[in-house]
Amino acid sequence: MSSATPERAGPSARRLTRRALLAATAAMTTAVAVGTGGAPADASAGALSAEQCEMVLRIAAAGAVYPIPFPSFAESGSAVSRATMARLQTAWGKVGSARSKLVQAGANALIEADPADDPALRGAITALARGDQATTVTATVALAVATISTHFDPNSDSAAQLWIGGLRRLPAGPDRVPSPARRIR
């Protein structure tokens, strides 16, 4: 065992900076445009915006460690280390065009909720998943799950519903999911 251990493990230990996210998104968009002669890869679905990508990666990183570490399913690295833009783009490529609109709407709803940290993000997910955004938020969480594990299909809600259902059952408190009413406007 190494004597140099990180002070803190989890999603906040390795944050993707906004600059790195925007640079990666721009590079991938350019590569797709060059590879397809300038047309989007799926014109009916569109691409995720930089903010939507950031939100899906935040969900993936949060789900990778909370309430328990996500299983590896024989993939290398921790689940948090697998919450990358490249893996998100691979999972996004498997999403059908009708489903992609749900994912984008769910990500937008979570962006609008503006959760400041991971507990607030989990609170926003559970609050929105109880209301009229249930289908869209679940689709967004499903993409996040498929980002950290190729074992799951981004077009299936099973794992997303399991995680969201588990979040609903956790008690509110400073180290738990906060009351959704405090963060949702």
Q: How confident is the prediction along the chain (185 residues), in pLDDT tens digits per residue? A: 444 444 444 444 445 555 554 444 444 443 333 333 333 344 345 899 999 999 999 999 999 998 888 988 888 899 999 999 999 999 999 999 999 999 999 999 999 999 999 999 999 999 999 999 999 999 999 999 999 999 999 999 999 999 999 888 886 544 554 444 444 43
In a domain, 35, yes or no: no
Its pTM stands at 0.70
Structure tokens at 165: 């259902």
User: In this structure, what is the dihedral angle of CA atoms 33, 36, 37, 39, given to the nearest 10 degrees?
Assistant: -70
In a domain, 2, yes or no: no
In a domain, 16, yes or no: no
Return the closest-CA partner of residue 110 out of 48, 22, 29, 47: 48
As a whole number of angstroms, the distance between CA 31 and CA 25 comes to: 10
Specify the number of domains making up the chain.
1
In a domain, 172, yes or no: yes
C-alpha to C-alpha distances, 175 to 11, 57, 118, 120, nearest whole angstrom: 15, 21, 10, 11
In a domain, 164, yes or no: yes
Question: Mapping DSSP to helix (H, G, I), strand (E, B) and coil, where does residue 86 land?
Answer: helix
Residue-number span of the structural domain to which 107 is assigned = 44-182
Return the closest-CA partner of residue 100 out of 149, 152, 136: 136
